[in-house]
Structure 1
C-alpha cells in the first residue's frame, strides 16, 4: 500500500471522513497563499491540495480560474519555488499531507522526471494532472513508481463503466471522484442527484483498490455528510476560496470549521 493510502487508512480509524482543502499557490500573493495553507493545517486539515497556477485550467470554474490568473499576473511563480515552499510546509506539519495539482503544460515544461524527483525530496506524496490521461502517462507512472509518488486519477459520473472500473483498480494513493459533471465550483445536490451520487460512489467502491476522495461542488456541511461513509476524503476547493475572497482567513476558516467540526 502506498504512503498516501496508508495515511488515509490510519486516519480513517479516528475520523468518519478526512478533509482536503484546495489552495492556489501564489494567490493573492505567494506569502498570502502559504500563510493560508499553514492556517488550514493548524486548523486540522488532513490534506492540502496545492494548485500550481496555469493560464488555462480547463477543469476549474470561475473562482479558481480567476485565482490562477491573479497569481500568474501578480507573482509569476516558478514550479521550483512552489515545490520548495510547500515542502517546508510538509516538514512543519508532519501530521498532514500535501499533494500537488496542476496541468500538464507547466509540469512538462519543468520536466516530469525532475518534478517527481523533487516531489519525493519535499515529501509531496501525490500528483494530480487532470489533463493527462492514464494511457499517455506511461513515463510519469514510471517516474512515480521509482520515487514512491502516487499519480492521482480522476473519474466522473459520465466516465464509462469499464473505464471507471479500470481507473478504480489502477488507483493507489486515492482515487479522485468528481461528484458531478462540469467544472469546479457549482453544486447540484438535490435529492434526485444525491441518489445518483450514491449509486456512482457505490459503483466506484465495488472496484476501488485505493481510498476515495470526492470533490467538485462540496460547499456545505450537508454535502460532506452526504458522502460520509461512502468515501474517505471530502475535497473542498471553490467554496473555500469564495469564503477567503469574501472575508480573508477568518471567513475561510469559519467555513472550514463548519464543514469538518
Structure 2
C-alpha cells in the first residue's frame, strides 16, 4: 500500500468520507492562494488538490479556466510552487496536498524532476488529466521510484475494458469523474446533461470500479450539495470539491468558502 493510500485508510477510520478541496495556485495572487490553502487545512480538510495553472485546462469549466488565466498574469514557476507547498504542509500533519496540472508545464519542468521534488516536499500524488496511461510507462516508473502516486481519471463513459485497466493500475486513489463533461456544471445542468448521455447510474459505475481496483476512490465534478456528498458515503473515500468552492470563494472570499465546506461535510 502506498503512503497516500495508507493515509486515506487511516483517515477513513475517523470519517465516513474525506474532503478534497481544489485551489488554483496563484489565484488571485500567489500569496492569497497560499493563505487560502492554509485556512482550509486549519479548518480540517483532508486534502487540497492544488492546480498549477495552464493556459488551456481542457478538463475544466468556466470558473477554473478564468482562475487559471488570472493566475497566469503573474510569472509562476513549478519549482517555487513545490517549495511553497512543502513549507505549507509541514504544519498540518492531518492534511495532504496533491498537485494537479496539465502535461505541458510539467513536461517542460521535467517529469523525473517533478516526481523527485514532489516526494521531497511530501506531495504524495500527481494528477495529469491529459497524459494517457498508454504513453506514461516512464512516468509511472519514475513515480514508483520516488513513491509518489500517479492519479488516473475515469469517467462514466470510459469503455469498460479501459476502465478495468485504469482501475487495476490505480495507486493512491482513483479519480472518478461523476459525469461526462468539464468541471463546474450546476446540479440542474448536470442532471440535464446526464439525461442525454447517461449510460449507467453513479452507484453502478462505482461498483464496477471496485470490481477491478482495491485503491481508494475519489469522486469529483459537479458536487455542490450535501445530498450529493451523502450519496457517496459507503461507495467512495473522497468527495472532491472544485468549481463550487471556487464560486463560493469568488462570491465572498474565505468565509463563504468555509461556510460551503461546513454545509457539505459537517
**TM-score above 0.5:** yes
Matched, 1:26 2:26: yes
How far does residue 95 in structure 1 lie from its aligned partner after superposition?
1.1
Higher deviation after alignment, 198-207 or 187-196: 187-196
Match of 2:258 among 227, 230, 253: 253
- For residues 176 and 184 of structure 2, what CA distance do their matches in structure 1 show? 15
Check conservation: 2:156, 2:200, Cα contact below 8 A. Answer: no
Secondary structure of the structure 2 residue equivalent to 1:14: coil
Matches within 5 A, 1:1-261: 1-73=1-73, 75-186=74-185, 187=187, 188-189=190-191, 196-261=201-266
If the length of structure 1 is used for normalisation, what is the TM-score? 0.97
Q: 1:209: Cα distance to partner? A: 2.3
Counterparts of 1:10 and 1:157, CA distance in 2: 28
Secondary structure of 1:33's match?
helix
Q: Secondary structure at the match of 1:77?
A: coil
Instruction: Give the conservation status (yes or no) of the 8 Å contact 1:59–1:184.
Output: yes
Aligned residues: 260
Shift, 1:228, TM fit: 1.1
Instruction: Give runs of ≥4 in structure 1 deviating > 3 Å.
Output: 189-195
Alpha-carbon RMSD across the aligned residues, in angstroms, is: 1.5
How big is each residue's C-alpha offset from its partner over 1:101-139, in whole Å with a ceiling of 9 and x where there is no partner? 000000000011111110011000000000001111111
- Residue 226 of structure 1: CA displacement? 1.1
Cα contact 1:170–1:209 (8 A) shared by 2: no
User: Residues 156 and 195 (structure 1 numbering): CA distance in 2 closer, same or farther, change over 3 Å?
Assistant: closer
Distance 1:69 1:161 in 2: 35
Are the equivalent residues in 2 in contact too, given 1:175–1:210 (CA < 8 A)?
A: yes
TM-score by length of 2: 0.95
Contact 1:189 1:223 in 2 (8 A): no
Q: Which runs of 5+ in 2 are unaligned?
A: none
Q: C-alpha displacement at 1:207, in angstroms?
A: 1.2
Q: 1:189 to 1:45 in 2, by over 3 A?
A: farther
Map Cα deviations across residues 234-255 of structure 1 (whole Å, 9 max, x no partner).
0000000000000000100100
What is the rounded CA distance, in whole Å, between the counterparts of 1:139 and 1:166 in structure 2? 17
Distance 1:19 1:123 in 2: 19
Tell me the CA shift for residue 90 of structure 1. 1.6
